């Protein structure tokens, strides 16, 4: 009696076609279930919620386009009220050097020109040209801002309340940590090269985790 079994390793045309169709139908589904799109790397802006102290918007000095300070969340910030006709105006050079030296580690110097002490009478365009042409300033600068008294911008009112010190003159400085909290305040006499200031900046930069 002839055997009804097929030779091992052989398939009929129908079964081979069916098998191929099954592979084509199931493989994409299996791949989709087993493979996830790579996650985008976290950035300081996306991984750190914007703290209350940075929830302010200022016009950019050069073109007066609105700039949210939330873009600096997770960074170490040195906020400075500046002026073009002051005995401390030369600090622009040191501030730019400080910003350039530590920016890759997370420091951003933020400059806020102010005429509160009657030493910043020019227009925003004139101030921008002066800062760039005289001192090569590249760090972010904002339009003329009131920094003291009843007319002070809300940011500076907060800084004064949190630090216990309001700007008494041009080039007063506030250090803000990665967590959005005031880490220090410094008088106009404190130069950008001051050892204590630099030490405090480096301490804040060493806190790698965005809290």
Active centre residues (catalytic): 86
Tell me the longest C-alpha to C-alpha distance in the chain.
Answer: 116
Whole-angstrom distance, CA of residue 148 vs CA of residue 203 = 28
Alpha helices by DSSP H, listed for 76-186, are 91-102, 124-135, 154-163
Grouping H, G, I as helix, E, B as strand and the rest as coil, residue 138 is coil
- The answer to whether the CB of 110 falls within 8 A of the CB of 53 is no
CB 172 within 8 A of CB 186: yes
């Amino acid at each position: 009696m002839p055997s009804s079994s097929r030779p091992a390793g052989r398939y009929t045309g129908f079964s081979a076609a069916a098998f191929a169709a099954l592979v084509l139908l199931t493989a994409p589904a299996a791949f989709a279930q087993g493979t996830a799109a790579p996650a985008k790397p976290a950035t300081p802006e996306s991984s750190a919620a914007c703290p209350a102290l940075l929830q302010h918007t200022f016009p950019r000095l050069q073109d007066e386009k609105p700039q949210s300070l939330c873009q600096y969340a997770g960074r170490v910030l040195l906020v400075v009220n500046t002026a073009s006709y002051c005995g401390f105006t030369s600090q622009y050079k040191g501030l730019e050097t400080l910003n350039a030296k530590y920016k890759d580690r997370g420091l951003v110097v933020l400059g806020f020109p102010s005429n509160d002490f009657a030493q910043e009478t020019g227009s925003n365009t004139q101030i921008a040209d002066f800062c760039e042409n005289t001192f090569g300033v590249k760090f972010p600068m904002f339009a003329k801002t009131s920094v003291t008294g009843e007319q002070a911008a809300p940011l500076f009112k907060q800084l004064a309340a949190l630090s216990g010190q309001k700007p008494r003159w041009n080039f007063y400085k506030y250090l803000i940590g990665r967590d959005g909290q005031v880490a220090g305040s410094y008088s106009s006499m404190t130069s950008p090269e001051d050892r204590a200031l630099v030490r405090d900046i480096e301490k804040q930069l060493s806190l790698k985790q965005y809290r």
